[in-house]
A and B are shown apart, each in its own frame.
Chain A
Amino acid sequence: MNISKKKIFKFLKSMKFGLILLGILCLVAIIGSVVPQGRQEAFYLNTYSPLLAQLIISFKFNDIYHSSGFILLFIALSFNLILCSTVKLKNIIQKIKKFQLPPNQQQLKNPIYTTKYSSDAKIQHIFTNKGFNNINRISNSSEEIYFSNKNRIGYLGSWLIHIGILAIIICYSYGQYTFWSGSVYGVSGSSQKIEGTNYIMNINDFNIIYRDDGSVQQYITKATLKDKNGNELLSDEIYVNKPMRYEGYTLYQHSTGWAAKINIFKDDKSIGNEFIYDGTAYTNNEEFIIMQINHIYPDFVATKSGFGSKSNELNNPKILYSIFYGGQVVDMNIVSPNEDIHWQNFRFKFNTPEQYTYLSINKMNGKIGAIISSVILMTGLFLTFYLKPKQLIVKRKNDNIYVYGDYSFSSKNIFKSSYGSSNNLSI
């Protein structure tokens, strides 16, 4: 490797590069939190000045977390972490090994405390007083050296932190990359195939539990998941904060709305009946006729500013509908349930509306990996902050005891201040 390549490599694995990337990541995240994400271009053109809107759209600030720049940033960060962690590991292992060796001459300079020797118990006490148990001893003709260390494992702390972060990035990216989502909805007793899968969902029951003050306590769907042949796979309750899980798929209680069953007659002969969900339509391609529910009002009121619903209870249900024939709106009105709607030789009748449940479904891989990585990260943090490697060295020469502090972390001497501040150190 020539010099410049070496230099580049050194930079790429350096903490400095890592910190620069983290700084940029902060800036990008700030932009992402200030600029609303994932809206139509028109939104930005209407909300911001032309220059700013152009800037947002050209730099993809409107979908910053999916932009190639953002992905590149994470790739660079991962690369930096991999390089740094690989190089560090060898270092750490060496440090741990070296830690157990007898102290060198360098460490036997500048004692932080000196006292008179009275007995071996006194030396023992110096160690136990600071929480050191395994005391090693070497002696030569003129002096005896005692040393002990603890929390060697702490050296692994920062390494585990970085490995944990790296693993979280990898698990999250994999999850995002293979993410799948869908939905299924229906009223009690209905059944629907889950698009994009081989599963069928039976909505056995849907309940909304209200508190005394009228607020919603919970939305509960009782559901049965079946395979394509109708064999039951799993049957359970789904409610907010308690999704149903099956083979990596997770089904969530997402929302609810109103639906009404419609009966359709032509020349007084029934030609069909089905549930129509608020905002959706019954379509009959043979007859070129479409019946759309524009809105269902469970507790209808007409005010000056328009129609509305006083509550979410079925006190005065009304349905605003539109009929299309050959692509044209031919009728639009508000009706009550069970009221006949006539149009030419067709007759329509809505039943009393019901609330349906809407379940969202997704499959996000790597969740367990992300949890394990988080545990690794947390363990690393704990080791780094609370199990710092410490070493205590005591030298006895003639009648004197010299206490040397801890040299495990660079040149820092963590015991110095504690000895310095204790006036009556009981050694």
Chain B
Amino acid sequence: MFEENQSFMIALSLYTLATISYFIFFVLRKEKLSNYGSILVKLGFVFHTISIANRTITAARLPLSNQYEFATSFAWGISLFYLFFERKYKYKLIGTFATPLILILIYYAAVQTKSINPLMPALQSNWLVVHVITAIFGYGAFAIACAISIMYIFKDNFKNDSFTKKHMPTIELLDTMSYRAIAIGFITLTLVIVTGAIWAEKAWGRYWQWDPKETWSFITWVIYSIYLHVRLNKGWKGKKAAWFSVIGFASILFTYIGVNTLLVGLHSYGIVFLPFSIF
């Protein structure tokens, strides 16, 4: 059968082709291509699942611990939610806005080292497994909410176009769809933070220390809670709320990629005066 790397590359290629199909569908208004796009994402998802399953078997644990493993799982989560939303709402145009987000993550995964490393003691925790699995589902939902919010902003600016009228949900439905996605995301993000805090308490002794990763997940959570309130407010409803959903997703990407590359965490400058620390 397919090896992990092989199926990963096939998935990556299929997602790329899907994105191109959806893009042409949208720009050149070729309706047929939206069906191809949809089939390509589904096929991509199958190979992606095979790749992740293979790695799980090889590593004898869920692939949730380094940048590559989390990025590929994150992309998988977006793909899963995309397919779910496409099936539920039957608007293929969502694909034009959602597949680029899958690509960002899967290409990011592709440039990371793929070596399988044994887990350091601090990462050997069931709480961590729950923490990361919920993160994948939550982030997947937020990605779709972001795609739908971009559609909203787009539709709001190009109201009279006949193609968008046919293929895009109404502005009210777009709002409801992104709210539903954010509701899933928000509940899971809260669970991610709570399980992360429980794990940190067991491993480090403090459940909340404001280290950059924690801080950014908190910032993300606050941004989405602002979205939820803004949506209740008549004057701010709609487009302004949609912007918060986009900013929220940018904050997620930063929490995941930016914090690791641009900021230092407590984990790397722990207050250890002894010569050799476990963490």
Contacts and interface: CB of A to CB of B under 8 A. Distances in A.
A417 B269 CA distance: 54
Nearest to A172: B208
Interface string A361-392: 01010010011001001100110011000000
A253 B121 CA distance: 10
Contacts of B204: 252
B35 interface: no
Interface in B169-208: 172-173, 176, 183, 186-187, 190-191, 194, 197-199, 201-208
Nearest to B213: A33
Given A15-B233, A362-B206, A215 B122 contact: no
Contacts of B17: none
A26 interface: yes
Given A22-B226, A377-B190, A417-B172, A240 B121 contact: yes
Given A33-B259, A241-B202, A278 B187 contact: no
A190 to B, nearest CB: 16
Interface of B: 117-118, 120-122, 124-125, 172-173, 176, 183, 186-187, 190-191, 194, 197-199, 201-208, 210, 212, 215-216, 218-219, 222-223, 225-226, 229-230, 232-233, 259, 263-264, 269, 272-279
Given A29-B219, A33-B263, A377-B190, A23 B226 contact: yes
A257 B275 contact: yes
Given A26-B223, A367-B201, A381 B206 contact: no
B270 to A, nearest CB: 9
Contacts of A30: 219
Contact of A216 (B121, B186, B210): B121
A217 B121 contact: yes
A33 B203 contact: no
A383 B43 CA distance: 36
Contacts of B219: 26, 29-30, 33
Given A18-B229, A370-B197, 18 more contacts: A19-B229, A22-B222, A26-B219, A33-B215, A36-B264, A36-B269, A211-B118, A213-B118, A218-B124, A219-B121, A240-B124, A241-B124, A241-B202, A252-B205, A253-B278, A256-B274, A256-B278, A364-B205
Interface in A145-199: 172, 181, 185
B69 to A, nearest CB: 17
Q: Which 5 A-B pairs have the closest CB atoms?
A: A240-B121, A385-B183, A255-B277, A33-B212, A33-B215
A250 interface: yes
Nearest to A366: B207
Instruction: From A15, A25, A26, A374, name the one whose CB has the most chain B CB atoms within 10 angstroms.
Output: A26
A219 B186 contact: no
A305 to B, nearest CB: 18
A127 interface: no
A410 to B, nearest CB: 9
A306 B212 CA distance: 35
A362 B278 CA distance: 18
Label chain A's interface by main secondary structure: mixed
A25 B219 CA distance: 8
Contact of A258 (B124, B187, B223, B275): B275
A364 B233 CA distance: 39
A295 B118 CA distance: 29
B276 A32 contact: no
Contacts of B230: 19
B205 A367 contact: no
Contacts of B210: 29, 32, 37, 65
A3 B180 CA distance: 41
Contacts of A65: 210
A190 B235 CA distance: 68
Instruction: From B120, B206, B264, B277, name the one whose CB has the most chain A CB atoms within 10 angstroms.
Output: B206
Contacts of B263: 33-34
Contacts of A26: 219, 222-223
A164 B1 CA distance: 50
18 contacts: A18-B229, A19-B229, A29-B216, A29-B218, A185-B274, A216-B120, A217-B118, A219-B121, A241-B125, A243-B202, A255-B277, A277-B274, A279-B273, A362-B206, A374-B190, A374-B197, A378-B191, A386-B183
A29 B226 contact: no
Nearest to B198: A371
Given A22-B222, A417-B173, A358 B187 contact: no
Contacts of A256: 274, 276, 278
A240 B122 contact: yes
Contacts of B274: 185, 255-257, 277-279, 358
B180 to A, nearest CB: 8
A256 B197 CA distance: 24
Contacts of B278: 216, 219, 240, 253-256
A312 interface: yes
A263 interface: no
A257 B274 CA distance: 7
Instruction: From A211, A241, A253, name the one whose CB has the most chain B CB atoms within 10 angstroms.
Output: A241
A239 interface: yes
Instruction: From A29, A240, A370, A381, name the one whose CB has the most chain B CB atoms within 10 angstroms.
Output: A240
Contacts of A19: 226, 229-230
